[in-house]
Amino acid sequence: MIRIANAPCSWGVLEFDLDGKAPGFAQVLDEMKDAGYGGSELGDWGFMPTDPRALKAEIGKRQFTIPGAFVPVLLKDRTRHKAGIEAALKTARLLRDSGNAGAFIVLADDNGTIPERTKNAGRVTPAMGLNKDEWSVFAEGANALAGKVRAETGLRTVFHHHCGGYVETPEEVDTLMRSTDKALLGLVLDTGHWMFGGGDPVEALHRYAQRIWHVHFKDCSKELAARSRNEGWDYFASVRHGVFCELGKGSVDFRAVARQLHAMQYDGWIVVEQDVLPGMGKPAECARHNYEFIQTLGLD
């Protein structure tokens, strides 16, 4: 059964240190509930309660589930692996102990902290990528983290490709998938990041059907992506200009995505992520629109 959730990033709750103020977790969860969603990803550590009993109470009174939690790690740096694994384990224990044992750790690169990649998000070249040795370290860290999380908590890990990090383009995703243990590490397909990174989400579903364990629905405006390339916007400027627009208003072919999800008998969560900066836009209204759009796809 496919279930539909949203994520705090749709309200401007992001892992980056940015200006502006995002709403608190109670408002975000209430607005998700009012819009029709059945769950929320966790958001940054500390956004929601970090005591398992308190978190279970907040989620339970809204009849919610937490399908995943984002954990960024600078995986190309082996000295950062230990701290990254500890952060993932801390998050996984919170999910398990609050009654969300089926959730995923959503592992990602430390996006937005790598100047060249952040500056050139949506238009990176191979010369800006990892070399052979760095790929080896990157994959080693991803495998180690996923293995520790599964062994100690029973939770599985998916990798989130993301513009502004070292795994953005389809070619980079392919390198990571070939370099990691398919039994340990799955892929979360983010339709908007996949398109902004130069790919077709439907092709990704065909190619990685067995590795896609989790899905993020995000739209992407090709017109604004082109402006980003032509005018030299960095990742944050692209988000501020609305490159990740409301579902159905961009260029992702969600009807084809829905058909392929049904064809591959996908049985999991679809998490809506309309990335906005803190204080940007009208998240509650967008969340309602996005949920109503998904209903037209026959996915809920």
Give the neighbor-by-neighbor strand order of the sheet with 3-6: 3-6, 269-272, 212-217, 185-190, 156-160, 104-108, 68-72
C-alpha dihedral sign at 135, 243, 12, 267: negative
Q: Read off the tokens for 199.
A: 């790919």
Cα 202 versus chain centre, distance = 17
Q: Can you list the positions of beta strands (E) in 130-224?
A: 156-160, 185-190, 212-217
190 three-class SS: strand
Domains and CATH numbers, the chain: 3-295 (3.20.20.150)
| pLDDT at residue 18 is higher than 50 | no
- pTM for this prediction: 0.95
DSSP 11: G
Euclidean distance between CA atoms 179 and 181, whole angstroms: 7
Using CA of residue 171, residue 214, residue 186, residue 212, what is the dihedral sign? negative
In whole angstroms, what is the distance from residue 238 CA to residue 299 CA? 29
Q: What is the mean pLDDT of residues 11-23?
A: 64
Please provide residue 106's backbone torsions phi and psi, each rounded to the nearest 5 degrees: -100, 90
The span from the CA of 287 to the CA of 56, in Å, is 23
For β-strands 212-217 and 68-72, DSSP reports them as unpaired
Q: What is the pLDDT of residue 86?
A: 98
Q: Does the pLDDT value for residue 52 go beyond 60? A: yes
> Given a cut of 60, is residue 19 above it in pLDDT?
no
**Per-residue model confidence (pLDDT) at position 15:** 57
Give tens-digit pLDDT for 223-281. 999 999 999 999 999 998 999 999 999 999 999 999 999 999 999 999 999 987 766 67
| pLDDT tens digits for range 138-173 | 999 999 999 999 999 999 999 999 999 999 999 999
- Provide the 10 A C-beta neighbour count for residue 46: 8
Bridge-partner residues for 106, per DSSP? 70, 158
3-state secondary structure of 266: coil
